[in-house]
């Protein structure tokens, strides 16, 4: 694969959860538990039933929330507030990461299936909120999640990325199946390697241009042109 330079891309589009922070931070385990808890409480399911509903909705709609809205008529704002904590003791201020992002030339964006509030809480806990020009969340895509191709059309429009700039754009994500529509549109793709997503990666390996263990190693690999 081609070497990555600071000026290789004009648009750097980052997923949030398990991409901006390391999956090993353990934060997602908490979110995941809250999702199950929400389904149990709200829809009066046992844990076992809730887990089943969850995996069904995820497989069918690409995002549990979207499935719960379509089939169980839940309120998305209530759901998103419930599953996302406001404090994140797992995260710390990331001085070096902030510098690396600042040094990256071009525009930087967050594209997430979670909420704007959640994204802001994460980014500010890490001290990197100011490095991103815009956050596109699930509400802004009208609850149409990645990997639905319609979500990517909304994303390109929202970030003002025109068709002649697509090949100068790169998308960084831990959920491999979410890279496929981006790759088909002509963006370059980066998969943040993780065990949880290995099967998904095997099915979508053709749509992955680069692989890195985490965001820091990706950013460290980008050099300045002499
Ligand atoms: Mg993610």
User: Ligand 1: distance of its center to the CA of 224 in Å?
Assistant: 28
User: Ligand 1: distance of its center to the CA of 6 in Å?
Assistant: 24
Cis peptide before 203 (omega within 30 of 0): no
The region of weakest confidence among 25-29, 43-47, 100-104, 171-175 is 25-29
Q: Whole-model pTM?
A: 0.95
User: Ligand 1: distance of its center to the CA of 225 in Å?
Assistant: 30
- Map out the domains of the chain with their CATH numbers: 11-22+91-220 (3.40.50.1000), 27-83 (1.10.150.450)
Chain segment 82-126, per-residue pLDDT in tens: 999 778 889 999 999 999 999 999 999 999 999 999 999 999 999
Question: What average pLDDT does the chain have?
Answer: 95
Tell me whether residue 192 is exposed, middle or buried, using C-beta atoms within 10 angstroms of its C-beta: 0 to 12, 13 to 18, 19 or more: buried
Here the contacts of 157-165 (C-beta below 8 Å, separation 24 or greater) are 158/134, 159/11, 159/13, 159/107, 159/109, 159/133, 159/134, 161/11, 165/10, 165/11
What DSSP string describes 48-99?
HHHHHHHHHHHHHHSSHHHHHHHHH---HHHHHHHHS-S--TT----HHHHH
* Amino acid 86: pLDDT: 76
User: Ligand 1: distance of its center to the CA of 192 in Å?
Assistant: 9
Is 126 within 8 Å of 94 (Cβ atoms)? yes
Strands 107-111 and 134-136: parallel
Rounded distance between C-alpha atoms, residue 130 and residue 133, angstroms: 7
User: Ligand 1: distance of its center to the CA of 46 in Å?
Assistant: 27
User: Ligand 1: distance of its center to the CA of 148 in Å?
Assistant: 15
The DSSP symbol for 140 reads T
């Amino acid at each position: 694969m081609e070497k990555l330079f600071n000026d290789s891309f004009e648009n750097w589009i980052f997923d949030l959860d398990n991409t901006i922070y390391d999956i090993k931070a353990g934060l997602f385990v908490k979110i995941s538990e809250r999702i199950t808890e929400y389904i149990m409480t709200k829809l009066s399911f046992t844990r076992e039933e809730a887990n089943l509903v969850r995996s069904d909705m995820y497989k069918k709609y690409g995002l549990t929330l979207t499935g719960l809205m379509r089939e169980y008529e839940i309120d998305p704002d209530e759901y998103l507030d419930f599953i996302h904590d406001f404090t994140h003791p797992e995260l710390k201020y990331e001085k070096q990461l902030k510098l690396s992002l600042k040094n990256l030339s071009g525009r930087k964006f967050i594209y997430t299936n979670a909420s704007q509030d959640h994204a802001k809480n994460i980014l500010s806990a890490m001290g990197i909120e100011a490095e991103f020009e815009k956050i596109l969340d699930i509400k802004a895509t009208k609850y149409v999640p990645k990997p639905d191709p319609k979500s990517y059309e909304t994303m390109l429009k929202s970030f003002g990325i025109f068709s002649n700039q697509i090949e100068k754009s790169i998308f960084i994500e831990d959920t491999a199946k979410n890279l496929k529509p981006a790759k088909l549109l002509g963006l370059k793709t980066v998969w943040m390697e993780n065990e949880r997503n290995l099967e998904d990666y095997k099915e979508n390996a053709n749509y992955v241009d680069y692989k890195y263990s985490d965001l820091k190693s990706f950013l460290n690999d980008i050099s300045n042109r002499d």
